Structure 1
Amino acid sequence: MTSSFGKKDNRKQKGAAAEELAAAALIEKGFRILDRNWRCRFGELDIVAESGDIIVVIEVRSRSGTTNFGTPSESVNARKMIQVRNTAQQYIHQKHYYERPIRFDVISVMLDVDLTAISMEHIENAF
């Protein structure tokens, strides 16, 4: 897909770069990554990790350039929260994690043009 400026649309590349940076930061913090890009009919979970006995579902959001349209974390609206919760419910059921506490985090990544992180914010218990 080409934008109105003639540049190739690289949203998937940006999303993948942000998820890679987020996963690396989580591992550095001591999280254990259980799954990435887990899908079912309800949607997709970007990262599912473990922190102690807690299952942590992480929604990764990124932006490049400016925050004129808001920060990446501000793009997680009520509809997205419901979708992530429904998808997580299926994940918990499928993996038999019924007795484990679950937490929903957001990792917000601002990317430079070369897809390196300008900034990253990890919001625990985001929703």
Structure 2
Amino acid sequence: MNNPLTRKQLGNVGEGLAWKYLEGLHYEIIEKNWRCRTGEIDLIVKDGSFLVFVEVRTRSGSPQFGTPQESVNAKKQQQVMETAQFYVHRYQKQQLQLRFDVISILTTKTGEQVSLDHLVNAF
């Protein structure tokens, strides 16, 4: 596989890498790409008493245009928090503490992992 990945393929690769990473930490994986009218959450996992909403950002090549986590701006954070509240209400998860993490992944143009940074309680 020597062709550069499309943006969608790169996103899928990144989410797969993040999923494996979180499984390795023994997080309980609950949802992947959960959608509702307010938006989408890449990964929803459980870490002890925390319900964790994970935004996964993947970029290929050099981070010359900023790191992946820098692209999670205030508007995106607000959208993720609104979507998380919708999820909590729909599935009656009010007893759990909420946390918002960002997993930032850099890959080669063909999708090989270069780095993975996990920002716990990112916003």
TM over 0.5: yes
Match of 2:92 in 1: 96
- The offset of 1:9, in angstroms, is 7.1
Deviations 1:59-94 (A, max 9, x none): 000110111110000000000000000000001111
Runs of 4+ residues deviating >4 angstroms: none
Match of 1:81 in 2: 77
C-alpha contact 2:5 2:111 (8 A) present in aligned 1? no
| 2:61 pairs with one of 61, 65, 69 | 65
CA distance in 1, matches of 2:29, 2:57: 18
Match of 2:18 in 1: 22
- For structure 1, the 5+ residue unaligned runs are 1-6
- The offset of 1:114, in angstroms, is 2.2
Q: What TM-score results when the alignment is normalised by the length of structure 1?
A: 0.92
Higher relative CO (Cα under 8 Å, sequence separation at least 6) belongs to 2
1:99-110 matched pairs, under 5 angstroms: 99-110=95-106
Q: What TM-score results when the alignment is normalised by the length of structure 2?
A: 0.95
Identity of aligned residues (%): 44
- For structure 2, the 5+ residue unaligned runs are none
- The offset of 1:8, in angstroms, is 8.1
